[in-house]
Chain A
Amino acid sequence: MIDWVPPGVILIAGAFLIPFLRGRAKQIYLLLLPIIAFIDLLYMAEGTGWAVPFLEYNLIFGQVDRLSMIFGYVFVIMAFIGMLYALHVKEDGQHFAAFLYAGSALGVVFAGDFLSLFIFWEIMAFSSVFLIWYSRDKASRDAGLRYLLVHVFGGLSLLAGIVIRLVNTGSIEFGSIAYGGLDSYLILFGFMVNAAVPPLHAWLSDAYPEATVTGAVFLSAFTTKTAIYVLLRAFSGVDILIWFGAVMAVFGVIYALLQNDIRRLLAYEIISQVGYMVAGIGIGTTLSLNGSAAHAFTHILYKGLLFMGAGAVIYAAGKRKFTELGGLYRAMPLTLGLYMVGALSISAFPLFSGFVSKSMVVSAASHEHLAVVWLLLNLASAGTFLLVALKLPYFVFFAKDAGIKAKEPPANMLLAMGFAAFLNILIGIYPGILYDILPYPVDYVPYTGEHIVWTLQILLFTALGFFLLLNKLSIQPAIYLDTDWFYRKGSKVFMWFIEKPLSAAAQLPVNISLHITDYLIWLGKNPVRAISLYASTVVFKLFGRFPGMPPHASEKLLEEGWKNYPGEPVRKSPVGDSVILVLIFIAAYALYYYLVA
């Protein structure tokens, strides 16, 4: 007897009722759906449920274990927070897309087979893109299309891997995958596109800043973390992920430092933070895998909070660039305070959520004596604090007053931020509530003297560096090339190739056949005379005259002969050309038919 339903189904099916509700009832319904899904989660029992026979396979919509549960919990919590934040939005379509997106992310998390996983994977891409497109400007339309194309590309790689795997093993079961062999490479590639592992990351930093204020909050939570979930399940302990993760942690920070758009800075910071999780998956010990799952959990909460804070600034001030913002702390002190909770959480400041999760991955690197990885991850930690807790708030809320008239955002936005901030502090103070739901038993104590002092020293001296180099941090109104250059400029090269050389080459056979038809028409007017003209021309060229005639008379006779030939070589209408081409083909076909049949 199954007394629960897959939570993704609740959100996806529930979304279809949104257009039938109005006003307050709709708002209550929007908040109720994730709450129902959360209660549903509490009733879920470990094991395999909701197996649906499809062709000769079983689609499994309820693969429940501790790993899927922790992602289930945080996805549903984030769906609630995101919906509360978006409650003032009047367009049903945005809410619909958000629920479809969150629901399909939950679908991936509880999928026990590759087919249903792939279907939810694609629904995620196609629903989330609307959260970008609802910005309704050219930049978001273009960025959304690029986002979609990259995800379709990654999805195709995943599908190819799934099919090869199905042929090789005869199974579509989704579980741990032995690394090695084409199928595993293709599947890993598909997963890494969604995890935004460089150089496959540019869709994220390209598209997220163009999303709607409320849409970006959902985007920051689901796509990359679903990828972390599937990597955790399928590829834990794959060594190359350690290096991908460590490099992307630093890469994200360096690019984030350059950005002028506040949400683009945060988008690059997602890449950096996901790097910790990817590295943790690569290390593959219980501590590091727990760390990756825990960090995904806290990351969703604090990154959502940061995107909500940045969104509140954009909503209230109408500006999104450092060069246009400044001095907002007077007008928006609540937003600043709530944002700072997220900033201290992401920086792993003691008593905030990141402190208890990020350190698990870093400690795992230390236990495995991965010195370079450890140094890179700590470098990225310093950079994270520099960016998110110092640079962004300094230039947005303090620094030079940009003279913007702004006020605090609506109550629902502040409440959503407040709830996320509360959870971040709660986890920071009572890490046990998070550790209890991690996939493996936890034997890790975050609050030791050495860990606290160590962290405070790094962070405070990073702050010292920030204030010393403040004048070097001036932000340029510019953009910086990233790997999206290859398809943004590459597509222009591709289009040039199609328009110029390729279409010219395609025109060539047409031109040749047109000349041939022209000639045949000309010839057909009087073939006998044409041939005799050719013959006399050849004779004239050879001997300089016709037999028994002086040269100039011969030349004149020949000229007149050509001139009197019926009709000029004509330039006809294109219709005439095609008629003749058709006639030629019919004649050729008739001939062929006659000879062969």
Chain B
Amino acid sequence: MGYLDDPVNIKALKYLFYASLVIAVLADFLIHREKTGFFWDAIPGFSALFGLISCILLIAVSKAVGYKLMKREDYYD
């Protein structure tokens, strides 16, 4: 019986994860910014959005690329 077989544990991890998301974004409103190279450096929560969009974008693009270039595993044999 592994740790992750217990739904209670999974639920706890899930809430921990959500909490860390909220804390990360809230922290962005509180920190002191020393240098802002680009305009987006000054927007609190920008990198959260950037991370989420990056993830979705990469998965979508790789799906599209994969759709074009997929071959059976014995293609070269």
Q: Are A and B physically bound partners?
A: yes
Residues B69 and A481 in contact, CB atoms below 8 Å apart: yes
The answer on a CB contact under 8 Å between A462 and B52 is yes
Closest B residue to A477 using CB positions: B73
CB-CB nearest in chain A for B57: A379
B residues 33-77 with Cβ under 8 Å of A? Answer: 33-34, 37-38, 41, 45, 47-52, 54-59, 61-63, 65-66, 69-73, 75-76
Q: Would you call A480 and B71 a contact (CB within 8 A)?
A: yes
The 23 sampled A-B contact pairs (Cβ below 8 Å) are A253-B58, A257-B58, A366-B37, A369-B38, A374-B38, A379-B58, A382-B51, A382-B54, A383-B58, A449-B32, A453-B47, A454-B47, A456-B24, A457-B50, A458-B54, A462-B52, A465-B52, A466-B55, A469-B59, A476-B70, A479-B70, A480-B65, A488-B76
Complex CA distance for A371 and B21, rounded to whole angstroms:
26
Residue of B nearest to A369 (CB): B37
Residues of chain B lying within 8 A (CB to CB) of residue A473? 59
Flag whether B8 is at the interface (Cβ < 8 A). no
Which listed residue, B2, B32, B47, touches A458 by the CB 8 Å rule? B47
Most buried by A among B38, B48, B56, B61: B48
Partner of B55, one of A258, A329, A382, A455: A382
B12 adjacent to chain A (CB < 8 Å): no
Residues of A within 8 A of B4 (CB): 329, 398
A residues bordering B, Cβ < 8 Å? 253-255, 257-258, 329-330, 363, 366-367, 369, 371, 374, 378-379, 382-383, 386, 398, 448-450, 453-467, 469, 472-473, 476-482, 488-489
Which chain B residues lie closer than 8 Å to A374 at the CB level?
37-38
Q: Chain B contacts of A482 at CB under 8 A?
A: 69
A460, B48: Cβ atoms closer than 8 Å: yes
Return the chain A residue nearest B2 by Cβ: A330
Complex CA distance for A31 and B57, rounded to whole angstroms: 45
Most chain A beta carbons < 10 A, residue from B25, B55, B72: B55
Instruction: State whether A453 and B2 are in contact (beta carbons under 8 Å apart), knowing that A458-B51, A479-B71 are contacts in the complex.
Output: no
> Once the chains are docked, how many angstroms separate the CA of A465 from the CA of B20?
14
- Bound-state CA distance A464–B54 (Å) is 11
In terms of DSSP, what is the predominant structure of the interface of chain A? helix
Q: State whether A450 touches B65 (Cβ < 8 A).
A: no
Q: Is the pair A478, B48 in contact by a Cβ cutoff of 8 Å?
A: no
Q: Residues of A contacting B75 with CB < 8 Å?
A: 479
Contact of A371 among B38, B49, B50 (CB under 8 A): B38
Task: Point out the residue from B34, B38, B49, B66 that lies within 8 Å of A450, measured CB to CB.
Answer: B34
Closest to B58 in A: A383
Q: Top 10 closest A-B pairs, CB basis?
A: A465-B55, A366-B37, A461-B51, A382-B54, A458-B51, A257-B62, A449-B31, A457-B48, A457-B47, A481-B69
Q: How far is the CA of A105 from the CA of B24 in the complex (A)?
A: 43
Min CB distance, A83 to chain B, in Å? 33
With the chains together, A465 CA to B50 CA distance in Å?
A: 11
What are the residues of chain A within 8 A of B21 when measuring CB–CB?
460-461, 464
Q: How far is the CA of A258 from the CA of B66 in the complex (A)?
A: 7
| B residues near A463, Cβ cutoff 8 Å | 17
In angstroms, Cα B51 to Cα A369, docked, is: 21
| Chain B residues within an 8 Å CB radius of A462 | 51-52, 54-55
Contact: B34 with A382, CB < 8 Å?
Answer: no
19 additional contacts, CB 8 Å, given A450-B33, A472-B59, A477-B73? Answer: A255-B62, A329-B2, A330-B2, A366-B38, A382-B55, A382-B58, A386-B58, A450-B34, A456-B24, A457-B45, A458-B51, A462-B54, A465-B54, A465-B55, A478-B70, A478-B72, A480-B65, A480-B70, A480-B71
Q: Which chain A positions have C-beta within 8 A of B28?
A: 453-454, 457
Determine the chain A residues whose CB is within 8 A of the CB of B49 once the complex forms: 461
Task: Please report the C-alpha to C-alpha distance between residue A552 and residue B49 in the assembled complex, in whole angstroms.
Answer: 102
Interface centre among B2, B50, B58 (most CB of A within 10 A): B58
Complex Cα–Cα for A253 and B24 (A): 25
Complex alpha-carbon distance, A533 and B24, angstroms: 106
Q: From B28, which residue of chain A is reached at the shortest CB distance?
A: A453
Closest to B32 in A: A449
Taking a contact as CB atoms under 8 Å apart, the answer to whether B59 and A458 are in contact is no
List the A side residues contacting B61 at CB < 8 Å. 254
Taking the closest CB of chain B, its distance from the CB of A326, in whole angstroms, is 12
A440 to B68, alpha carbons, bound, how many Å?
45
Q: How far is the CA of A493 from the CA of B38 in the complex (A)?
A: 50
Question: Within 8 Å CB of A467, what residues of B?
Answer: 17
Shortest CB distance B73–A (Å):
5
* Known contacts A374-B38, A453-B28, A456-B24; A469/B62 CB under 8 A: no
Q: Which residues of B contact A369 (CB under 8 A)?
A: 37-38
Question: In the complex, what distance in Å separates the CA atom of A460 from the CA atom of B56?
Answer: 13
Establish whether residues A461 and B73, one from each chain, have CB atoms under 8 Å apart when the complex forms: no
The minimal Cβ–Cβ distance linking B21 to chain A, given in whole angstroms, is 5
CA distance A464 to B56 in the complex (A): 10
A255 proximity list for chain B (CB < 8 A)? 62, 65
Bound Cα distance A489, B77 (Å): 10
Contact B38 A453 (CB under 8 A): no
Bound together, the chains give a CA A404 to CA B61 distance in angstroms of: 33
Question: B59 and A378: CB pair below 8 A?
Answer: no
CB pair B54–A258 under 8 Å, yes or no, is no
User: What residues of chain B lie closer than 8 Å to A489, measured between beta carbons?
Assistant: 76
Nearest-CB residue, chain A, relative to B5: A330
Nearest Cβ in chain B — how far from A479, in angstroms?
5
Are A258 and B62 closer than 8 Å at their CB atoms? yes
Evaluate contact between B38 and A458: CB separation under 8 angstroms: no
Q: For A481, what are the chain B residues with a Cβ–Cβ distance below 8 Å?
A: 69, 71
* Least distance between B52 CB and chain A CB atoms (Å): 4
